[in-house]
Structure 1
Amino acid sequence: MTAYSMVPPQGPPPGSPRARRDRQLKLTVPVSLFFVGGFWAIVLLSCAAGLTGATRFFYTPLAFVIGAFLFVRFPAAYLVHLWWIWFLTPFVRRVVDFKSGWTEFSPIMLAPYVVSLLMLVTVIRFLPRLNQRDMFPFVPILVALSLAYPVGVMNAGFSPASFDVLNWVLPVVMGIHIAFSWRSYEKLKVSTEQAFLMGAAVLGAYGIYQFFFLAPWDAFWMRVVQMDSIGRPAPMEVRIFGTLNSPGPYANMLAVSLLIVLGARGRLPFLAGIPAIVALLLSLVRAAWIGFGAGLFIMLAKMDMSRRAKLIAAVALTVVLSLPLLSVEEVSKTVTTRIESMIGDKAQDDQSFKDRVHFFQTFVEDALSNPIGQGIGATGVATKISNNGKMGELGVIDSGLLEVPFVLGWLGGALYLSGVALLVTATFKRRWSRQDGFVTVAESVALSILVQMVFTNMLTGFIGTLFWSFIGFSIAAERHWASQSSTARSSSRGASAP
């Protein structure tokens, strides 16, 4: 049984569909440990043995081969594999570059995209079924992205547009894949919960280590990329980014993990929550703090009094258990200074706040003046491809709400945002899955990410996979529980027939 299951424990008859499902659920953990654990053992042992040059070239192909096998045979383990590829790939790249020399465009960084491409099989297979009511909002989103790609090719170039279309499209594909995999909902739910609970512990602990000690490969990377916004490459002078490439995605991964932690039961979630909450604070990402607060508010609002009391107790216990780390002088001073920058006059005097207000005032006309938009590839990391490896002028857009029309244009932006609005609205109107605690977590995750669109585009890249995958889980859960209810009614009628 999972932490979120609605069905009370009982022994299903041998050979029944539920018995087969239970056996598949039990297989998820050992299969994940064998294949996913084996992959990371090979990678880490190769790095430890000094074979980083070879790792640079076998990492992505091996990740794809294992992903393809798991995708076909063990879908839940495939999802675990994909999450950990997203979690740890930047870390592997930094270690390899530190030991074997810096490369501006590392093949290692293609691994999450290559493994994610496998889910296009699901989209192609079920493409005609996108006209179903709960899936139809994905149609205007895909149409908008299809229109923006050729515009991006014309304006930014083929390579930047082709790379950036992966950042825009693949997270949406992941949501569609999970939604259409509703028959495996229980397995996918368990695998995702396990991945994020373990991820909270591992990535949170590494982030705390990074703050106090800062590994040489992390310091090397900071010096090379010259990202001044994350501090200096020295212990206790860095905004931690963990195993990811910047504090923003790292903080959001931890925020999502904490929401899952707080919705789960047992001792492991609490243990995972301790390093996660400390690392989230040390990331100093105020937008992620606000997003986490919004997600927590939704969880409290959606629960009955009994579950609400348990959630409040879980939050309190997690904070209390984190106090020994939070009370360390270096940690408390760093976090307190950042919190003060959000309050009263200090918020208005904060340079980041001033820069963001200035950006809004100057960029809004550019964002809304082009009816067809600049196209995919005009913003973000893709600008490095057309700018000799350096982030272009539009590499960072301080508002996702403005970046969408700037990239997609008026029509594309309207189609894209209307699809998102329909999907998010539908998550709060679910009928059959209303008592499934994991759906409440999914809704909370979606909102926690969406509210941050004011600050930056949260619907693309790694953070986008968090948003779209949990939208997919909401749809899959509704279909799963509706099917369960229908089966139960059919069984009841059969039993009562003379």
Structure 2
Amino acid sequence: MTHDQIKSRVLNRRNVFIACFVLAIAGSFTPLAQGEIVLVPLASLLGGVYLSRRSRSQYITFVLWLFFLAPMLRRMIDAHLGGASASAIIASPILACMGATPYPKQLWGMLNFGRLKWMVLIVATYAYASFVGYMLHSPIALVQEAITWAGPLAFALYLFVQREHVAEMLETFRDQFMLGTLVMGLYGIYQYVFLAPWDATWMEQSTLSTIGTPEPFGVRVFSTMNAPQTFADFIVFGILFSTASTRRLRFFAIPVGLMALGLTNSRSAWIGGVVGMCFIIFFFPAKRRLQIMMALLGSVLLLAVLSQVPEVNEQLTRRLQSFTDLKTDSSVNARMLSQEHAITMFGDRAFGNGFGGSSDDTGSGPTFGVATIQGVYLADNGIEQFMLTFGWFGSVVFAIGLGGLVFTCLHAPSPQELTPVNAALLSLIVQMPTMGLFASTPAFLLWSSIMMGIAYKENVRSSGTTLKPVSLNDTQVQTI
């Protein structure tokens, strides 16, 4: 097959995916919306199974855009049907991740690698939580929650299986996050100024109390995703990945992303983004540092222009002032009460809650990561999240495994190509006390960044050379 034929084949697949996403969004306004509630998750699972075995870059692109767009599609269907009945669509990207679940033989082979020795502890705690969940909760609840924890990890392990092509995967992540940052950022700005009807309807029905008011200039921007915090972390990843790109698109993506990030009012994401950007500036060469500083300066000037809008100025000023007066902040006070409750629960449940014990406040169905355990919001604190799930002993084992993986990924020496990945990982780790990292969408970011770094280092170690240039021929997928 010639180079032009390969390129044409790849572009044709991308056009098919774009057409599918457009048709799904258009169908949400028609009588087909009811059928999409089942069709979209099923197509995501089958598409994940097929693409994970056929095309690395297309599979990664498919999964990323499902994460980017599935929540908005859910809101559109809910608005058309007149009720919150399309929550299963939120599971679509997780099901696509499950399509790459390694076979037992593959998993055993991966766990034999020295750099993945800590992963044995993670897998062991997941098995333990599944057993506890089986003993305490219903099978349906167990499966629903186990998928939200295991799906992102399955995708990350797929990245390790494909480690010989990690340069190609890094480029795919960088390009798709950069484009996604531009698209989601523009929609986020539109959402803040105009607020689409499906977004307003969802806000009115949502149990989230810190998402703002359902009116223009009153919303905490969540763009195409389902919460300001989640959107903010994806935008932070997109901005950090964009700094490593040489494409001109980055000069549009970074400023738009920063404006949208400011409108989320997500303080923890702001802190994580600053930590990640400082890491990049410190480790990048002098010439690239200057380019980044110029891009950031231009973005700051745009933010200054944006802040001339009275509503924006008031909102950002109030949020920035809260850093110096946390005692009177309602969000911080609510988190403190939740943590006191969590400590009491942890003391009473030595074996943990396992998978299947979390639920939403309404009891209306699967939560897919946005959940509580007896009033404790698991999305508010990653430490509480794994401690309440795994119990006393399981939490220690999980923490040791996580710490070992993060250290393996971050410890020197790390090549320059991994700098944005490590920066993105750090931006998440510093947010662990303020957001749940280990289920659903945040877990996808966490495990993918960890495994990308480990896959890169393992590939360099085994080959003894630096990475080869990216090839367009991604149709042959490696197995371990």
TM over 0.5: yes
Q: Mean Cα displacement is larger for which, 277-286 or 110-119?
A: 110-119
State the shift of 1:387 in Å: 9.9
C-alpha separation between the residues in 1 aligned to 2:459 and 2:223? 36
SS in 2 for 1:412: helix
**Aligned letter for 1:468?**
W
Q: Mean Cα displacement is larger for which, 46-55 or 473-482?
A: 46-55
Match of 1:495 in 2: none
- With over 3 angstroms needed to count, the CA separation of the structure-2 counterparts of 1:23 and 1:464, relative to structure 1, is farther
C-alpha separation between the residues in 2 aligned to 1:262 and 1:487? 21
Select the residue among 419, 423, 440 that pairs with 1:461.
440
- With over 3 angstroms needed to count, the CA separation of the structure-2 counterparts of 1:446 and 1:390, relative to structure 1, is closer
**Aligned letter for 2:131?**
P
C-alpha separation between the residues in 1 aligned to 2:330 and 2:318? 14
Show the 5 A alignment for 1:337-356.
Answer: 337-343=318-324, 346-356=325-335
C-alpha separation between the residues in 1 aligned to 2:61 and 2:338? 39
C-alpha separation between the residues in 2 aligned to 1:280 and 1:105? 27
Matched, 1:476 2:458: no
Show the 5 A alignment for 1:53-202.
Answer: 53-104=34-85, 106-121=87-102, 124-202=105-183
Match of 2:258 in 1: 277
Match of 2:215 in 1: 234
State the shift of 1:383 in Å: 8.5
Encode CA deviations 1:394-434: one digit per residue, 9 max, x unaligned. Answer: 35143221221211012211111111101111122354xx3
Encode CA deviations 1:223-243: one digit per residue, 9 max, x unaligned. Answer: 222433212211111112111
Checking the alignment, whether the CA contact within 8 Å between 2:210 and 2:331 is kept in structure 1 is no
How many equivalent residue pairs? 464
Checking the alignment, whether the CA contact within 8 Å between 1:175 and 1:468 is kept in structure 2 is yes
**Aligned letter for 1:435?**
P
Checking the alignment, whether the CA contact within 8 Å between 2:460 and 2:466 is kept in structure 1 is no
Match of 1:247 in 2: 228
Checking the alignment, whether the CA contact within 8 Å between 1:145 and 1:412 is kept in structure 2 is no
State the shift of 1:284 in Å: 0.9
Match of 1:33 in 2: 14
Q: CA RMSD in A?
A: 2.8
Select the residue among 415, 418, 421 that pairs with 2:403.
421
Checking the alignment, whether the CA contact within 8 Å between 2:121 and 2:401 is kept in structure 1 is yes
C-alpha separation between the residues in 2 aligned to 1:106 and 1:304? 46
Matched, 1:257 2:272: no
Larger Rg: 1
Match of 2:203 in 1: 222
C-alpha separation between the residues in 1 aligned to 2:268 and 2:373? 23
Checking the alignment, whether the CA contact within 8 Å between 1:76 and 1:188 is kept in structure 2 is yes
Matched, 1:361 2:340: yes
- With over 3 angstroms needed to count, the CA separation of the structure-2 counterparts of 1:257 and 1:98, relative to structure 1, is same
**Aligned letter for 2:318?**
T
Q: Mean Cα displacement is larger for which, 101-110 or 69-78?
A: 101-110
Checking the alignment, whether the CA contact within 8 Å between 2:358 and 2:372 is kept in structure 1 is no
TM, length-normalised to structure 2: 0.88
C-alpha separation between the residues in 2 aligned to 1:420 and 1:131? 17
C-alpha separation between the residues in 1 aligned to 2:293 and 2:260? 21
C-alpha separation between the residues in 2 aligned to 1:455 and 1:65? 35
- With over 3 angstroms needed to count, the CA separation of the structure-2 counterparts of 1:273 and 1:307, relative to structure 1, is closer
- With over 3 angstroms needed to count, the CA separation of the structure-2 counterparts of 1:32 and 1:449, relative to structure 1, is farther
C-alpha separation between the residues in 1 aligned to 2:450 and 2:12? 26
Select the residue among 361, 376, 381 that pairs with 1:399.
381
- With over 3 angstroms needed to count, the CA separation of the structure-2 counterparts of 1:395 and 1:119, relative to structure 1, is farther
- With over 3 angstroms needed to count, the CA separation of the structure-2 counterparts of 1:285 and 1:30, relative to structure 1, is same
Match of 1:436 in 2: 416
C-alpha separation between the residues in 1 aligned to 2:285 and 2:212? 43
**Aligned letter for 1:411?**
F
C-alpha separation between the residues in 1 aligned to 2:6 and 2:240? 23
Q: Mean Cα displacement is larger for which, 122-131 or 88-97?
A: 122-131
State the shift of 1:262 in Å: 2.2
Q: Mean Cα displacement is larger for which, 191-200 or 22-31?
A: 22-31
C-alpha separation between the residues in 2 aligned to 1:463 and 1:387? 17
SS in 2 for 1:334: helix
**Aligned letter for 1:278?**
M
Match of 2:268 in 1: 287
Matched, 1:448 2:430: no
C-alpha separation between the residues in 1 aligned to 2:133 and 2:102? 25
Identity %: 24
Match of 1:377 in 2: 356
State the shift of 1:449 in Å: 0.7
- With over 3 angstroms needed to count, the CA separation of the structure-2 counterparts of 1:113 and 1:468, relative to structure 1, is same
C-alpha separation between the residues in 2 aligned to 1:293 and 1:23? 42
- With over 3 angstroms needed to count, the CA separation of the structure-2 counterparts of 1:157 and 1:26, relative to structure 1, is same
**Aligned letter for 1:225?**
S
Select the residue among 24, 27, 45 that pairs with 2:26.
45
TM, length-normalised to structure 1: 0.85
C-alpha separation between the residues in 1 aligned to 2:178 and 2:44? 22
SS in 1 for 2:101: helix
Structure 2 unaligned spans of 5+: 468-480
Checking the alignment, whether the CA contact within 8 Å between 2:37 and 2:86 is kept in structure 1 is no
Match of 2:390 in 1: 408
SS in 2 for 1:141: helix
Checking the alignment, whether the CA contact within 8 Å between 2:185 and 2:260 is kept in structure 1 is yes
Match of 1:3 in 2: none
Matched, 1:324 2:305: yes
Checking the alignment, whether the CA contact within 8 Å between 1:123 and 1:177 is kept in structure 2 is no
C-alpha separation between the residues in 1 aligned to 2:312 and 2:100? 41
Checking the alignment, whether the CA contact within 8 Å between 2:144 and 2:366 is kept in structure 1 is no
State the shift of 1:368 in Å: 4.0
C-alpha separation between the residues in 1 aligned to 2:90 and 2:366? 18
Encode CA deviations 1:62-88: one digit per residue, 9 max, x unaligned. Answer: 333333332222121011001111111
- With over 3 angstroms needed to count, the CA separation of the structure-2 counterparts of 1:181 and 1:465, relative to structure 1, is same
State the shift of 1:122 in Å: 5.8
C-alpha separation between the residues in 2 aligned to 1:217 and 1:325? 25
Checking the alignment, whether the CA contact within 8 Å between 2:200 and 2:215 is kept in structure 1 is yes
C-alpha separation between the residues in 2 aligned to 1:336 and 1:32? 46
